[in-house]
Homo-oligomer: A and B are copies of this chain.
Amino acid sequence: MTRMHKENNLSKNQQIIFDLIDKSPEPLKAYTILFNVQKKGINAPPQVYRALDKLVEIGKIHKIESKNAFVACKNSDCEISKATAFSICESCEMVDEISDTKLSKYLSSFNHKKGMKFKRFNLEFFGICKKCK
């Protein structure tokens, strides 16, 4: 029993949690996820965090660091999460993943004066969205 869902490489818990995040219009927090998947047999925080860690690692979801919340990747898995950018409304908390090739290229090729070579970046923009204006 408890078969892997080979069609997309996700395990049972990973799939359940990804589906929940993917269909949510807003970022979900770990314990919100936990409460919502208890009916499916996921009972404890480590089960949620392990799935989240894996989903982040493979680029299916991203963590919004300023909110401790998770969103599904809308951008063909962001080259496995090496270059992420988000717009965040400070009023309604809505989060949108920004897909802008120019921005991504500009930042990916940005080099630190101190000679550090970057492997990854995360950018969070804050403002008031159209709806909230």
Residues of A within 8 A of B (CB): 65-66, 87, 89-90, 96, 98, 100, 103, 106-107, 110, 112-130
Contact = CB atoms under 8 A, between A and B. Distances in A.
A113 B89 CA distance: 14
A120 to B, nearest CB: 4
A130 B114 contact: yes
B116 A120 contact: no
B112 A116 contact: no
B116 A110 contact: no
B128 A120 contact: no
B117 A126 contact: no
A116 B127 contact: yes
Determine which residue in A119, A121, A130 has the highest number of CB atoms from chain B within 10 A of its CB, and name it. A121
B128 A117 contact: yes
Given A96-B114, A114-B130, A120-B126, 15 more contacts: A65-B66, A65-B124, A87-B116, A87-B118, A89-B116, A96-B112, A96-B116, A100-B113, A107-B123, A110-B125, A112-B127, A119-B128, A120-B127, A121-B123, A122-B124
A117 B127 CA distance: 6
B103 A129 contact: no
B103 A110 contact: yes
